[in-house]
Amino acid sequence: MPRFYGLIKKATTKDFSVTYMWLEAEEDEARNLPVSVGNYELGGEEKTNSTHVFSHFVQSKIGRARRFKVFPKKGETWALFKNWNMELSSDSESSHEYEFVEILSDYAEESAISVGFLSKVEGFKFVFCPMAKDGSETCEIPPHEFCRFSHGVPSNRLKGTEGRGVLEGWYELDPAALPVPSSQSKPGEEAADQSPPSGSAC
């Protein structure tokens, strides 16, 4: 899952090469679960010729002494650890279950982040739509529970014209950031190639 961040220092397109520095979570951000939000500092420098190590662009705020703040932003889609509690461990990635959300508010110091839950549309592998959970369409994630955020999920907000049965406001999530084999479909193709069964709705 895309939980590691790096600061790009230099990139060349001819004979593809990228030099970057790792962003490492500060000590007070260390938890049993993988860290994907919070405060980061610059780590070691590396160089790679592989495009496969990169997932997506992440916006961050730069603080004092070249410290970086990474938090979900309004309009993004993220995975949450399902059935989260402080005893969850990062020992086994395969044991984790996820639920997916749309971020409805930007991060503000000492404030909760509002999210809306997403549900996979029947008949699709990677298309999700807004859903209500426990009678509510939104949920507030308080600062002391920010470790519920597992990782950002690149997504494409659909316009409703991509294929039969697709509605505006649905999301096609990047299969590489989902706990399913990415070989099931090519990103960007599913909404056009598949339709939900007759009578299905979200």
Look up residue 33 and give its amino acid. L
DSSP state of 156: E
Nearest CA to 42 out of 17, 65, 70, 72 is that of 65
Cβ neighbors of 34 (< 8 A, separation 6 or more) are 1, 3, 90, 150, 151
- pLDDT given at position 199: 41
The string of pLDDT tens digits covering residues 149-177 is 999 999 999 998 888 888 999 999 999 88
pLDDT at res. 135: 83
Q: Could you tell me which of 112, 149, 183 has the C-alpha nearest to residue 25? A: 149
Quote the pLDDT of residue 35: 75
Q: Which residues of the chain have pLDDT under 70?
A: 1-2, 27-34, 86-95, 180-202
Residue 136's pLDDT is 84
| Token representation of residue 73 | 């932003």
Nearest to 40 by CA among 53, 56, 27: 27
The per-residue pLDDT for 76 is: 96
pLDDT for 184 equals 39
